[in-house]
Amino acid sequence: MNIVRFELPWMPSVNHYYRHVGPRVLISRQGRLYRERVTALIQSHNIKTFDCKVALDIQLYPPDSRRRDVDNVLKIILDVLTIGGLYPDDSYVKQLKIEMREPYENGFAVVTAMPYAKENR
């Protein structure tokens, strides 16, 4: 499998992605719509599911200059890439680079995925 690179729309915040209903944590309506959008995007690019260990490079371009935690954004991205079929489970991700870049109108994330190899280090 080769290197794949694609752009994701900016994701809802963690506070809008998840909903607490009693003791349970559920994906919100906004979160489900985002998952559907990312799944359609991955399918439209004919990206095949990685069946091996994966290395990810994620460049984040937020929609504005508000303060954001990279780890909260990361949880959502790894979740939607699993649901979208990039890999069967986020345990397949063995190398990860994530960088918060300068804001860009509407925001987006650029994801580069490749098979993980020791040579990638």
Query: What is the residue-averaged pLDDT of the chain?
Result: 91
User: Residue 9's pLDDT band (boundaries 50, 70, 90)?
Assistant: very high
20's tokens: 């607490």
Rg of the chain over Cα atoms, rounded to whole angstroms, equals 14
Q: Please report, for the domain that includes residue 25, its CATH number.
A: 3.30.1330.70
Residue 12 structural domain: 4-120
Please indicate, yes or no, whether the overall pTM of this predicted structure exceeds 0.85.
Answer: yes
Helix and strand totals (H; E) in the chain: 3, 6
Q: Is 18 helix (H, G, I), strand (E, B) or coil?
A: strand
User: Residue 120's pLDDT band (boundaries 50, 70, 90)?
Assistant: low
- Nearest CA to 94 among 42, 52, 38, 49? 52
User: Residue 119's pLDDT band (boundaries 50, 70, 90)?
Assistant: low
Q: Which residue has the higher pLDDT, 82 or 28?
A: 82
Q: Is the pLDDT of residue 15 over 90?
A: no
pLDDT tens-digit map of 42-73? 999 999 999 999 999 999 999 999 998 888 89
User: Residue 17's pLDDT band (boundaries 50, 70, 90)?
Assistant: confident
Q: Is the pLDDT of residue 40 over 60?
A: yes
- Quote the number of domains for the chain: 1
